[in-house]
Amino acid sequence: MIKLKMKGQTVLSNDEGVYDAYIVPTPEYGLNEIPAGPNPRDLDPNSQKVKDIIAGFLKDNNKFLISNGGMQVIIDDDSLVINDGFLAFTCDEDNSGHYDGQHTEFAVSKAVTMAGELNNCVKITLIEQKCFDSVSEIRGAAGAWNNRTKQKVSSEHNILGHFDTIKKNVSCVEVDNIGWKQNQVDSHGVKIRPENEVQQVLRLLGTFLPLTYQRGMDVSAIAQHAKGAESAAMKLVTDEPYSTYMRATYKYTDFCLELSDFIQCSLPSVLGEELFKEFALIKQTGKGQLKRPITKRAFHNQSLFNGDGKVAGALDKDWLPLFMYAIVNASFEYNAAKGEFIQNHTIDEAKAIWLECGREALKLFNAEFTANFTSIYKSRKADFINQPSKWTQVANMVLKTINTGTWRNRLATELLEAA
């Protein structure tokens, strides 16, 4: 039973299972007793929002209610008890707990730990389970509250289970190393960066779609994914006909994750020491950096899906799908009758192919980068990568390499060393 101290004796109700009360958090009866419910976002404890809430509550001026929206909490049906200045309830059923106000809960609890009971209170709305018919309805209510603060669409899709099948196909890395929801931290407690979020996973899996030869799924379509940002990636999951074909890619999630990390880690050996130092494509692209000679620019850093930290001198997340497509195009084909992708090369063979042709593929795209990134594309990465002809050119280069058969020598001699 969760017990909270009330400000006064009054609890307002609509007589349909919704209750409003003012709560005085104390060290003994704290808001942190309320469990997390179907809240799509993880909390960022170091965010400015948390700091501002703590500072506001510590003012101890009984005005905290003016600037804070409080908490929305789903409780078990008929569990609320009001007695002698306290209210108590349970949150034992599935999907019970707070669905909005987790920043308030965390920050106020921290303030009370620091200063004890104060002359401030928090508005709390308790809603019985019977008020909702489904998790989707709960998230609809939460979405109205979260419109106050912009929320990533991926967080909503995650709480609705739209990524569950992808998660089940992740085994080569810790599933928590992929950012499925906003403010998520990885297995080491580090906040996940954009290159390891689910949007990037979907873009990598999206490189399979041209193999289907379906309308709207050719190379020109996937080359635009970076320009569409999160919304374009989410459409691959939710919108037909994309979602049908995307479901057939999920079994190869490990292939994409492992190859992505391998490409990033192999760049020094693929390019060679001297070329690596002066390769513009793996350098930072900020305005200040682009004014410097290539050799004086700082390396671009990217985190790995395996959680082993950052790679210095790595491809931007927006560049990587182009090279992923080239390898996928050479390693898979689509069987329309069965509705599935057929794998013709193992992950080790795909790595060997990359080791054989990666240098020339990178040099081709690097030449385009140095010639036109700033002049034609005005340093806009999403516009620069949206060149279907370059995607096709690199993919054809890989196919020619496979036909020579020389890549097979890499399997025994260089693969383990490069990894």
pLDDT in tens, 246-305: 999 999 999 999 999 999 999 999 999 999 999 999 999 988 999 999 999 999 999 999
Using N-to-C axis directions, what is the helix angle for 347-372 and 388-404, rounded to 10°?
Answer: 140
* Alpha carbons 190 and 250: distance in angstroms, whole number: 26
Those residues of the chain that have pLDDT short of 50 are 419
Which pairs count as long-range contacts for 242-247, CB under 8 Å and 24+ apart, including other chains?
Answer: 242/209, 242/216, 242/217, 244/339, 245/208, 245/209, 245/212, 245/214, 245/217, 246/202, 246/205, 246/206, 246/209, 247/165
* Alpha carbons 355 and 267: distance in angstroms, whole number: 9
SS3 label, residue 352: helix
Determine if the peptide bond prior to 194 is cis (ω within 30°).
no
The per-residue pLDDT for 171 is: 97
With contact defined as beta carbons under 8 Å apart, do 271 and 359 qualify?
A: yes
The per-residue pLDDT for 256 is: 98
Q: Residue 150: CB partners within 8 Å, gap ≥ 6?
A: none
* Alpha carbons 223 and 209: distance in angstroms, whole number: 11
Q: Residue 128: phi, psi to the nearest 5?
A: -75, 150
The per-residue pLDDT for 176 is: 94
* Alpha carbons 311 and 269: distance in angstroms, whole number: 13
Q: Residue 79: phi, psi to the nearest 5?
A: -100, -10
Residues in the chain: 419
Per the listing, tokens 């374009």 go with: 232
* Alpha carbons 377 and 290: distance in angstroms, whole number: 13
Per the listing, tokens 């009001």 go with: 82
The per-residue pLDDT for 156 is: 83
Q: Residue 189: CB partners within 8 Å, gap ≥ 6?
A: none
Q: Residue 281: CB partners within 8 Å, gap ≥ 6?
A: 315, 319, 362, 365, 366, 369
Question: What is the distance of C-alpha 410 from the center of its chain?
Answer: 34
pTM: 0.72
